[in-house]
Amino acid sequence: MVAGARIVEMESAPMVDAVRGLVAGMSVVFRCFATWLVPVLIAVGVRRHRVHRVPLAYEPTWWSIVFPLGMYAVAGMYLGRADDLPIVEWIGRAWLWVALTAWTLVLLAMLHTLITTRSREPRRTRSA
């Protein structure tokens, strides 16, 4: 979506002019699909942690959730500007705060896990 928005914003050139409408339309379609996935992903998370009672503990794979949140936000801002859709740009700005909050929570969980794991490790003594 970000690349599509950037192509839409490019200066006039024969190839850009030929594909601008298609790229703009496909970027909006992909944005709609990504937006449709948000409640699905939330439902999967609720099912995993509430229904199946998987403990909510830090895992490195959480970073694979944080990155798409940030990309969704940035893509919304660029797409909103490129296609002159102020509501999409506003939603992108709002999601930027969601992504920043998620990033902060995952970072804090990672640091907490590192600190508590290290404090539980037995101290090694040097032998002569």
pLDDT score recorded for residue 119: 75
Q: How many domains, the chain?
A: 1
Read off the pLDDT of each residue in 6-10 and give the average, rounded to a whole number: 89
What is the domain range of residue 93?
2-120
Nearest-angstrom CA–CA distance, 40 and 90: 22
Q: Is residue 59 part of a domain?
A: yes
Residue 105 lies in a domain: yes
Give the pLDDT of residue 14.
Answer: 92
Residue 76 lies in a domain: yes
* Residue 49 domain flag: yes
Global pTM reads: 0.79
Whole-number pLDDT of residue 125: 64
- The CA distance from 127 to 94, in Å, is 57
Cβ neighbour number for residue 93 with a 10 Å cutoff: 13
Structural contact between residues 5 and 27, judged by C-beta atoms closer than 8 angstroms: yes
Share of the chain above pLDDT 90, in %: 70
Give the pLDDT score at 60: 93
